[in-house]
Structure 1
Amino acid sequence: MTTKLLDFAVFIGRMRPVHLAHMKIIEEALEKADKLVILVGSANRPRSFVVSAFEYAEVLAMLTLLYKHHIASGRLVVMPLDDFVYDHDGWQLNTKRVVNAVVRRTLALEGRRDVDLHSLKVGLAGFGKDASSYYLNMFPEWESIQVGKQFALLSATAVRDAYFQRIPQLSDFALDPRIIEYLRDFMHTDEFAYVVREREAIEKNIREYGRGPFSASDAVITWRDHVLLVNRDGRVGYGLDAFPGGMLECGETTLQCAFRELNEETRVLDLNPGFQQTLMNSMAGYRLFDAPDRDPRGHYMSHAYHFALPDDFDAASLRMEPRSDARAVRLVPISEWGHKKAFLEHFAILRKFVPANDDVAATAGEFKAAA
């Protein structure tokens, strides 16, 4: 048996879908390491054309088609990796925590609980093809596994562009035959139709309005451990929960826009006289979210206003009715919400105003590659 250069290799990618370049990285990593940990990124994001056209379970199914025996033997471990939107440090710490957990579990199964984690050699596999590969420089304690660039021009974005349309296209230049067969079956699902319709809505929006930049306002209303959300009726993000909000109109301030959109989507100001003043008295913060890629429809900047209603506010008597592009409106326990149910990065926006208490740093620092 050939001795491997590394104890563990780590490969991070969204892999939506898994294509030949991913397979090249995986196979070279398996040649150099005893075991490979594949972390499937954006595992906590809802299905959407740009970020997560396939959910984690579907990516896992593709990887299982390709590497069934490696997974069964324990040489290859696949794990979900959540996005930490607007929190690179949190994402980095959580990535280390996930890897640590896999390593500890693997050693326990092998009866090697007494192994010093710091003595293990770990490498990070991949190649820096574009801005999405920035993470390769975030783990200097892990060795770098340089992978050949035979497929450097191949990207999952190009594969999705060809696939998610009314007449899908699949190429054996980009995809293994087993993945092509999987995607042909996937064409007949409601999930495929959802992504195609969302893509068409995004492209229609860009044709009609351009890519911006545009200004919008969002009303982030919290009460105790609840947040006020509308359930979207639009083709982009249909069925996801969002803050009441919308586009800035000529002649109004961003705060006026937030109140107007709040009332248009919930009628809460019309139905509850004096509630706007209650909100003004409860204003707890303002932040601008202007990342150019936060919205697939273009460069939409969100002026987010946080209103923290007092604990003694009578939320049960608050009258609301969904209107405009809202299917429903309700106060939702924050603990029951999350990225998976949120439109765009709205849950991350909430967490900028109402931080979570989770501490991902506790187990992140205990495992480093040996020098």
Structure 2
Amino acid sequence: MSKFDYGVFIGRFQPLHIGHEAVIRSALEKVDTLIVLIGSARQARTPRNPFTYSEREDMFAKVFKHELTTGRLVLKPVQDHPYSDTAWCTEVQRVVNETVLEHYNKGGVVLHGLQDLRIALAGYGKDRSSYYLKLFPEWGNVQLASQYGTFSSTVVRKQLFQRIPVISQSVLSEEVAEWLKAFALSDPFRELLEEAEFLDAYPDEWGRGPFVTVDAVVIQSGNILLVERGEAPGKGLLALPGGFLDPRESIRDAAIRELKEETRISDHKGEIPPAMLASFIDGAKTRVFDHPERSLRGRIITHAYLFRLPERRELFSVTGGDDARTANWHRLGDLKPEQFFEDHWSIIDLMADL
């Protein structure tokens, strides 16, 4: 009998490699059932997070078919919360609680709480990304042997996103390697390769920062004003109107300028003048977003301003301009995190009180 009824292992698995597999098999020797939480589960594709949750689920199914079929291994998605460890911990706790109750109750014994079950967090402290091992003191701990080898998913991705992709079967199971070979012939791969090449060249042209940017969170009658990006990075994704600070302007003025340039926001009298737009700013909600990995272009620190426009049945008119392909109003309830560029969904989530 195992010391723990359930283990919890968290990772991004971009992609799943033999180091991950070794840790999972080691954990399965110490717990009855292992819940694997797949992070970054609802994000748009980027060279850092190229595979969707369902695609990573497919990789697991090819390698751990027996464990998944018998219920010893359970996969669940977890969304990123880069600006709130509390929100991330809450989601992890909620997903684990729901998963354990659902899984255990299938055995015929109905539980309403987890107090009689032994749950442990499984993992190894490889680097600063493993800080989460200290965030769940209510669970036990299963320390696993460190991932062997000198490789990581970062190395696998770097080799993959080339004009002639390299898919190393020395660090990937045969099933995952074949999956990646097929992926390298797909349209998403070609789009990601274009973006990876853009990002590789970006520091040579612009430097690595820090850079200062602005973003406008514009709300009117339950709708938010968004642009569709016309170029890499994030071509085709939704984004907040915004851009880089000019040397001779204040941050607030930059937010207003970018809003006007990218959306041509207008009422029945024509384009709304800067002074009127400024009057719509909710100063109490202005916030800096500075997660070190918020942008793959470099160290970019953005200042977000919340514009609360007057409630009305007919929304202000907008037209895409500057480097925005289009500008449109979107109902807040219709939006999904995976539609957004960089961390713009997280900004909206915090600024608009979703």
Structure 1 distance, partners of 2:42, 2:253, is: 33
Residue 359 of structure 1 corresponds to none
The answer to whether the Cα contact below 8 Å between 1:49 and 1:196 also exists between their aligned partners in 2 is yes
Q: Displacement of 1:336 after TM fit?
A: 1.3
Residue 48 of structure 1 corresponds to 46
CA distance 1:19–1:281, shift in 2 (3 Å):
same
Moved more, 265-274 or 245-254: 265-274
2:60 pairs with 35, 44, 63, which one? 63
CA distance 1:189–1:274, shift in 2 (3 Å):
closer
The answer to whether the Cα contact below 8 Å between 1:229 and 1:241 also exists between their aligned partners in 2 is yes
Structure 2 distance, partners of 1:62, 1:151, is: 20
CA distance 1:140–1:154, shift in 2 (3 Å):
farther
How many residues are paired up? 351
Structure 1 distance, partners of 2:39, 2:314, is: 38
Residue 361 of structure 1 corresponds to none
CA distance 1:6–1:344, shift in 2 (3 Å):
same
CA distance 1:141–1:150, shift in 2 (3 Å):
same
Structure 1 distance, partners of 2:266, 2:232, is: 27
Once the two structures are superposed, what CA deviation does each residue of 1:30-88 show, in whole Å capped at 9, x if it has no partner? 111111111100101111112x2100010000000001111111111111111123111
Q: Displacement of 1:116 after TM fit?
A: 5.4
The answer to whether the Cα contact below 8 Å between 1:129 and 1:152 also exists between their aligned partners in 2 is no
Q: Displacement of 1:351 after TM fit?
A: 2.1
1:119 alignment partner, SS class: coil
1:298 alignment partner, SS class: coil
The answer to whether the Cα contact below 8 Å between 1:269 and 1:276 also exists between their aligned partners in 2 is no
Structure 2 distance, partners of 1:273, 1:55, is: 40
The answer to whether the Cα contact below 8 Å between 1:339 and 1:345 also exists between their aligned partners in 2 is no
1:283 alignment partner, SS class: coil
Percent identity, aligned pairs only?
37
Q: Displacement of 1:274 after TM fit?
A: 3.8
Structure 2 distance, partners of 1:204, 1:18, is: 27
Q: Displacement of 1:219 after TM fit?
A: 1.4
Residue 256 of structure 2 corresponds to 259
2:171 aligned partner, one-letter code: A
Once the two structures are superposed, what CA deviation does each residue of 1:178-227 show, in whole Å capped at 9, x if it has no partner? 11111111111111111111111111222200110111111111112111
Residue 209 of structure 1 corresponds to 206
Structure 1 distance, partners of 2:112, 2:288, is: 48
The answer to whether the Cα contact below 8 Å between 1:289 and 1:304 also exists between their aligned partners in 2 is yes
Structure 2 distance, partners of 1:219, 1:116, is: 44
Moved more, 34-43 or 83-92: 83-92
Once the two structures are superposed, what CA deviation does each residue of 1:273-299 show, in whole Å capped at 9, x if it has no partner? 445333222111311112222110001
Residue 91 of structure 1 corresponds to 88
Structure 1 distance, partners of 2:223, 2:113, is: 44
Matches within 5 A, 1:1-371: 3-50=1-48, 52-114=49-111, 117-151=114-148, 153-268=150-265, 272-284=270-282, 285-312=285-312, 315-316=314-315, 318-356=316-354
Structure 1 distance, partners of 2:206, 2:217, is: 26
1:117 alignment partner, SS class: coil
1:126 aligned partner, one-letter code: G
Moved more, 262-271 or 68-77: 262-271
CA distance 1:115–1:351, shift in 2 (3 Å):
closer
User: Unaligned regions of 5+ residues in structure 1, if any?
Assistant: 357-371
1:355 aligned partner, one-letter code: D
- Higher normalized contact order (CA 8 Å, seq sep 6+, divided by chain length): 1
User: Unaligned regions of 5+ residues in structure 2, if any?
Assistant: none
The answer to whether the Cα contact below 8 Å between 2:83 and 2:291 also exists between their aligned partners in 1 is no
Q: Displacement of 1:138 after TM fit?
A: 0.8
Report the TM-score, using the length of structure 1 for normalisation.
Answer: 0.90
Once the two structures are superposed, what CA deviation does each residue of 1:120-162 show, in whole Å capped at 9, x if it has no partner? 1111111111121111111112222111125263311111111
Structure 2 distance, partners of 1:298, 1:150, is: 29
1:168 alignment partner, SS class: coil
**Two-structure CA RMSD over aligned residues (Å):** 1.7
Structure 2 distance, partners of 1:116, 1:298, is: 45
Q: Displacement of 1:319 after TM fit?
A: 2.8
